[in-house]
Amino acid sequence: AGPSKVARMSEEDAEWADRDEDVNMEEPEVETLDVVCSVCEEGWAADRLEEHTELCTVLRQVGHGMSIDAHLTTLANVIDDLLECGAELAPEFADEVWPLVRMARGAASLQPDGSVKPHQRCGAIADALEAAVDPSVSISLSTLALTYARRILLLVNDKVAYLAEAATDGAVPMPVVSVDSASQLEPGQAPPGISIDEFEIIKPISRGAFGRVYL
């Protein structure tokens, strides 16, 4: 009998994550994550931060209020659109992100079936993404691809948790994604808002027809 679907997916995606191992046998250069993105609050190399933050700010809004599956599919579609109008992108970008499209759609397609297989398959996708964004190998990825990879990994990890719960508890509603991160909200639950109580008012600085402005 041939290899299982789980094994095929794991081997294919692991090959992408380790694509440079057979070329560079020297000690890999580990990326130093010495600054924190103010948007996603993840560590990044200082020379990547500006480019990452621009994209991260946009991705922070993409998929807000969608289910995990819809968000993964949306990100895959966004990457597809980038590739279609990719004249301004580096030629190697397509090689970096095609696997992300495949893995995002693969994770989105996995649904509870009463067994642990969907959870295992989604876990294999998460493992491949985790290996790809590891600082010991991620230096070979462009900032654009790495930003998408990390975002998709957050969503895939949420999907793994959902499938694990569904495998043990039966049918459960799929959470939706909050605007702040890939953290989950229960269906119908609004994301946390900002209250005036969270600010310290020092003094009024102007007054207009529609209200006042305070420092």
- Mean pLDDT of the 167-186 span: 64
What's residue 209's pLDDT?
A: 52
Of 53 and 210, the one with more pLDDT: 53
Report the alpha-carbon distance of residue 9 to residue 117 in Å, rounded.
13
Max avg pLDDT among 4-8, 30-34, 104-108, 198-202: 104-108
Residue 68: closest CA among 190, 153, 171: 153
- Closest by CA position to 66, among listed 104, 38, 16, 28: 104
The angle that helices 68-84 and 143-169 make with each other, rounded to 10 degrees, is 150
Instruction: Count CA atoms closer than 13 A to 144's CA, side-chain side.
Output: 16
* Contact indicator for 133, 30 with CB cutoff of 8 Å: no
Beta carbons within 8 Å of 125's beta carbon, 6+ residues apart: 9, 13, 103, 106, 107, 156
Q: What is the mean pLDDT of the chain?
A: 77
3-state secondary structure of 189: coil
Task: With a cut of 80, say whether residue 207 has pLDDT above it.
Answer: no
Phi, psi of 43, rounded to the nearest 5 degrees: -75, 140
Between residues 136 and 184, the one the model is more confident about:
136
Q: Which percentage of the chain shows pLDDT scores above 70?
A: 66
For every residue of 27-94, DSSP letters joined together read PPPPPP--EE-TTT--EE-GGGHHHHHHHHHHHTTTTTTSBHHHHHHHHHHHHHHHHHTGGGS-TTHH
pLDDT tens digits for range 57-93 = 888 777 778 899 999 999 999 888 878 776 556 667 7
User: Lowest-confidence range among 120-129, 167-176, 194-203?
Assistant: 194-203
Other residues' Cβ atoms within 10 Å of the Cβ of residue 176: 20
- The pLDDT score that the predictor gives to residue 181 is 43
Confidence of residue 161 (pLDDT cuts 50, 70, 90): very high
